[in-house]
Amino acid sequence: MILPQKIAMLDTELIAAADPARAAAVFHRDGFVAIRGALTPEQLEFARTGARRVVDEQMTATPLEDANRGFARYSFGSQIHHPEWAQLIELPTVLPVLDAIWGSEHYVCSGGGGDYSTPGARIQHLHSDMKDMLNDPLGQVNIYDMPVPFIVVNFLMVDFNEINGAIRFVPGTQRTRLRPPTLEDEPEHWKQSIVCAPAGTALVRDVRCWHGGTANDSAENRIMTSVGYFAPWFRRPEIAPLPMTSAVSQNWTCTLR
């Protein structure tokens, strides 16, 4: 009898929100960092309720075979107009980490969304969420040479484990000019380099870092919501930045920080 090979999970350090300097150091080294307990139980339940509502709406409208990220794999699209996403914009457990990463408070929110995979989703190819857009005529500088321009914070709505489609990363790839290989050309340990962490964890990631979803062999939807932030010096003309919110208010109006 041949036993299945053990999943080579990433040895992911869960950083306390109270240690933003350590979180920033890990982020700059690996291209991502996991913040433990970024959401309170109440915030997590509120976010889950909204995410599950949108999942039900989208899956009713779009069958598995027509999902926008491949079979049984969906992107939420923009959802920042919902209060369950708006509450994530200015979390006291996340903003100090961004402050430490950028050395500034003058970044802006780019919106919010996330993704989910349902049972039956297969492994996703490695990819980067940003292409070079500098178009340097001398060919001396591209977007991968720069400090982090764009951060997405993913919030785990369920416990991520080795069978439910957890995200995988190739640490340290955020500053490489190389492009990710095809799924067929990946080394096996990259396919298994998954992040296992509890619901309520925030994954703060440089969008350039190579990542991808894994197969969802469980009986549950693997859901993570997100909020994005542009560096103080970076904007994308096709995306209008949002002002940062203050504490959650009754009418969800936004105010500058």
Share in percent of the chain as helix, strand, coil (round to 5): 20, 20, 55
List per-block mean pLDDT (blocks of 10 residues) for the chain, which spans 257 residues.
50 96 98 98 98 98 98 98 98 98 97 98 98 94 97 98 97 97 96 97 98 98 98 90 57 33
Which residues, listed in sequence order, are joined to residue 154 by a DSSP beta bridge? Answer: 203, 226
How many structural domains comprise the chain? Answer: 1
Q: Which residue has the tokens 């915030």?
A: 43
Is 3 within a domain? no
Q: What is the distance between the alpha carbons of residues 52 and 57, in angstroms, rounded to a whole number?
A: 9
Is 189 within a domain? yes
Is 256 within a domain? no
Is 239 within a domain? no
CA-atom Rg of the chain in angstroms = 18
Q: What is the distance between the alpha carbons of residues 204 and 38, in angstroms, rounded to a whole number?
A: 11
Other beta carbons less than 10 A from residue 140's beta carbon: 8
Is 237 within a domain? no
Check residue 249 and give its pLDDT: 33
Check residue 239 and give its pLDDT: 86
Residue 131: burial class (beta carbons within 10 Å; 0-12, 13-18, 19+): exposed
In CATH, what number is assigned to the domain containing residue 69? Answer: 2.60.120.620
Check residue 237 and give its pLDDT: 82
Q: What is the distance between the alpha carbons of residues 14 and 177, in angstroms, rounded to a whole number?
A: 28
Q: Extract the tokens encoding 189.
A: 């340990």
Q: What is the distance between the alpha carbons of residues 208 and 164, in angstroms, rounded to a whole number?
A: 24
The span from the first CA to the last CA of the chain, in angstroms, equals 61
Q: What is the distance between the alpha carbons of residues 132 and 134, in angstroms, rounded to a whole number?
A: 6
Check residue 123 and give its pLDDT: 98
Q: What is the distance between the alpha carbons of residues 144 and 152, in angstroms, rounded to a whole number?
A: 16
Quick one: which of 71, 57, 30, 56 has its CA closest to 169? Answer: 30
Check residue 8 and give its pLDDT: 59
Q: Which domain holds residue 39?
A: 14-230
Other beta carbons less than 10 A from residue 200's beta carbon: 23
Check residue 2 and give its pLDDT: 35
Is 200 within a domain? yes
Q: What is the DSSP letter of 185?
A: G
Is 218 within a domain? yes
Q: Extract the tokens encoding 180.
A: 């990710």
Check residue 245 and give its pLDDT: 60
Q: What is the DSSP letter of 152?
A: E
Helix (H) or strand (E) holding 81: none
Is 153 within a domain? yes
Check residue 250 and give its pLDDT: 33
